[in-house]
Amino acid sequence: MARPRTFDEERALEAAMRAFWAVGYEATTTEDLCAATGLGRSSVYNTFRSKRELFEKALAHYMEVRTAAVLDLLGSDLPTREKIRALLWQTVDADPDDPDGCLVVNTMVEVAPRDPKIAECLRRDHDRRLEALRRAFLAGQRAGEIDGDRNPDDLACFVIATITGMRVLVRGGADRAAVEAVANTALRAF
């Protein structure tokens, strides 16, 4: 009954996400977003309403995909230590086609402190990953792989902090050996 779109909204969202990821929220202009998505301004604004809403959607998309992968991994039947090792290695062996670092980390640094709504989105995502990690450590303790005296919540926080630190180092241009050293050292903390 009407003219159909010539683009795939999901692909456009993915492209916008990568632009924000690479350059940051403030430094990404609406023209950058047009170039990245291949759309005109009208299409961008028709589809996503504003730069701000597009960013929210892009961030939500990022968290959905990435956190799902983390939950999958942590829900697998690997030994707990192997789960954590694989998790850390996601950062050591990051896809070279992806921008450096992590959109969640970048957003926590750049946007969250002055934007309560974004901060709340990040907090919810953080809690999901924290809970999955906690469960993994608890399972590891029940299986006798992890020292039962440790607090699973503390270990979960530690893993998240370690990955966050690695992501920042990578974004700062650290070489692979340094990132690998961090991961291997962290694995000895529990």
Partner DNA sequence: CTCATTTTGAACAGATCTATCCAAAAGTCA
Partner DNA sequence: TGACTTTTGGATAGATCTGTTCAAAATGAG
110 binds DNA (CB under 7 A): no
Given candidates 85, 109, 131, 138, which one binds a copy of itself under the rule CB under 8 A?
109
Is the CB of 49 or the CB of 142 nearer to DNA? 49
Sign of the CA dihedral with 129 first, then 78, 139, and 81 last: negative
Give the N- to C-terminal CA distance of the chain in Å, as an integer: 62
* CA separation for the pair 42, 1 (Å, rounded): 21
CB atoms within 10 A of CB 152: 20
Which listed residue (78, 119, 128, 145) binds a copy of itself by CB under 8 A?
119
With binding defined as CB under 7 A, does residue 8 bind DNA? no
> Does the footprint of a copy of itself cover residue 117 (CB under 8 A)?
no
The answer to whether 101 contacts a copy of itself (rule: CB under 8 A) is yes
- # chain residues binding a copy of itself, by CB under 8 A: 47
**4 binds DNA per the rule CB under 7 A:** yes
Sign of dihedral through CA atoms 95, 97, 100, 102? negative
| Partner from a copy of itself, DNA, none binding residue 31, C-beta < 5-8 Å depending on class | DNA
**Residue 30 interacts with DNA (CB under 7 A)?**
yes
Q: Is 68 in the site for a copy of itself (CB under 8 A)?
A: no
Please choose, from the candidates 95, 37, 104, 34, the residue with its C-alpha nearest in 3D space to the C-alpha of residue 67.
Answer: 104
**Residue closer to a copy of itself, measured from CB, 37 or 164:** 164
Dihedral of CA atoms 123, 125, 130, 131 in degrees, nearest 10, equals: 110
Tokens of 81: 């230590």
Residues 6+ apart with CB under 8 A from 116: none
Q: Which residues bind a copy of itself (CB under 8 A)?
A: 22-24, 26-27, 99-101, 105-106, 108-110, 112-114, 119, 122-123, 126, 151, 153-155, 157-158, 160-166, 168-169, 171-173, 178, 181-182, 184-186, 188-190
